[in-house]
Amino acid sequence: MDNIDLQVLKAASEWRRAGHACVLGTIMRTWGSAPRPVGSNVVIRDDGLVVGSVSGGCVEDDLVARVRAQGMSMQRPEAIRYGVSAEEATRFGLPCGGTLELLLEPVRAHSAIEALLERLEAGRVTRRTVDRTTGVATLEDGIGSDELHLDDERLVAVFGPSWRLLMIGAGQLSQYLAEMAGMLGYQVTVCDPREEYADTWPVAGARLVRTMPDDTVIAFRPDRHTAIVALTHDPKLDDMALLEALRSDAFYVGAIGSRLNQQKRRARLIEHFEMTDAELDRLHGPVGLKNGARTPPEIAVSILAELTAVRYGYRIPEPQPVGAGQHVEAGCRVD
């Protein structure tokens, strides 16, 4: 679940408490190309106000027009399909003749939106099951790898962080990375056993643990929805985490440091811990896409850009600098 859909749920809850009627839309199925993934949400208020996105704009415009023309007369969930014909696909901005099917449900007390938000604020991944006949929703614990399920009787959608990010080090870069990662739907944990970072972690919603990095990685039980990034510049901490991370199922393992430091790290891990070349080839280091980033927020952007590419199966070739960095102030150049 991404941050956009969390905004949708909050809007639905606030509008209902304020006395407005509203309809929650969920993408149930797509065919061909679609701008937003299955499970994405939108909510439309009785006066046409909309939060969220299922298409990038055109489908939302049509939904608002329907609400304004027909009012909020819907009493039970209804399925609606867009883009069945090439003409409709073009009209609704669906690329390559794409088609999407939505479930529209009037938001009522039995929709369990407030209870769902409470669970999400507590960090609990939740399966929300909607009875397609009555609209009654039930909630139960889920796991990050759960996927949307649909049949003629129910829609089961998964809410909550589906991806996890474990960072080693609670420095300034980690603060920016934690804030941005939260916006992308990551459940963020930061590990730093150093005393000087014990009481200064400022990012709400990102958990700080003070156990040793190797123990933390083992306890974390990394899976294919887990990324681990070492950011301390201290080999005693970073290497301990990488030793376990590179032998885990984590989909991404990265470490900050120059190319020279990465070479030294590789030699250390081979010599002292008998790591194999195949294990070390999984390491992204220097971490992040090579885009000239220099400041902590820029480096955080580059890390998350690479995480996103790896998640979706893309490998981006290393870019070549243009103009020899003529717009960079003296002293800021990096190799």
Q: What domains are defined for the chain?
A: 3-159 (no CATH), 163-311 (3.40.50.720)
| 3-state SS, residue 141 | strand
- Report H helices in the chain: 3-17, 58-70, 86-91, 113-121, 172-183, 213-220, 235-245, 259-273, 277-280, 296-311
Q: Which pairing describes strands 163-168 and 41-45: parallel, antiparallel, or unpaired?
A: unpaired
Per-residue model confidence (pLDDT) at position 107: 94
| 113-144 pLDDT tens trace | 999 999 887 777 899 999 999 999 999 998 76
Cα separation, 30 vs 225, in Å, equals 23
Residue 320 is which amino acid? Q
Per-residue model confidence (pLDDT) at position 330: 32
How large a percentage of the chain has pLDDT more than 70?
88
Per-residue model confidence (pLDDT) at position 322: 77
**What's the whole-number mean pLDDT along residues 185-199?**
88
Entry field: residues in the chain? 335
Per-residue model confidence (pLDDT) at position 90: 61
| 3-state SS, residue 100 | strand
* The dihedral sign for the CA sequence 249, 209, 139, 63: negative
Q: Is the pLDDT of residue 96 over 70?
A: no
**Mean model confidence pLDDT for the chain:** 86
Lowest mean pLDDT, pick from 30-44, 90-104, 316-330: 316-330
Lowest mean pLDDT, pick from 34-38, 261-265, 267-271: 34-38
* Dihedral (Cα; 253, 257, 263, 267), 10-degree rounding: -70
Distances in Å between the alpha carbon of 152 and those of 75, 77, 142, 156, 283? 18, 12, 22, 11, 45
Residue 14 is which amino acid? E
Q: What are phi and psi of 101, to 5 degrees?
A: -120, 130
Distances in Å between the alpha carbon of 326 and those of 83, 108, 194, 213? 48, 58, 39, 40
Q: Is the pLDDT of residue 241 over 50?
A: yes
Per-residue model confidence (pLDDT) at position 95: 55
Verify cis geometry, omega within 30 degrees of 0, for the bond prior to 286: yes
Highest mean pLDDT: which of 72-86, 118-132, 133-147, 231-245?
A: 231-245
| 267-295 pLDDT tens trace | 999 988 889 999 999 999 999 998 888 89
**What's the whole-number mean pLDDT along residues 28-35?**
76
| 3-state SS, residue 163 | strand
The larger pLDDT score, comparing residue 112 to residue 67, is at 112
Cα separation, 286 vs 199, in Å, equals 29
Highest mean pLDDT: which of 38-42, 125-129, 177-181?
A: 177-181
Cα separation, 38 vs 21, in Å, equals 25
Per-residue model confidence (pLDDT) at position 134: 95
Tokens in use for 260? 């020279």
DSSP 319: P
Assign 223 a pLDDT band (cuts: 50, 70, 90). Answer: confident
Q: Is the pLDDT of residue 36 over 60?
A: yes
| 281-335 pLDDT tens trace | 999 999 999 888 889 999 999 999 999 999 888 888 888 777 655 444 333 333 3
**What's the whole-number mean pLDDT along residues 64-79?**
82
Using left for φ > 0, alpha for ψ between -120 and 50, and beta otherwise, residue 142 falls in: beta
Per-residue model confidence (pLDDT) at position 334: 38
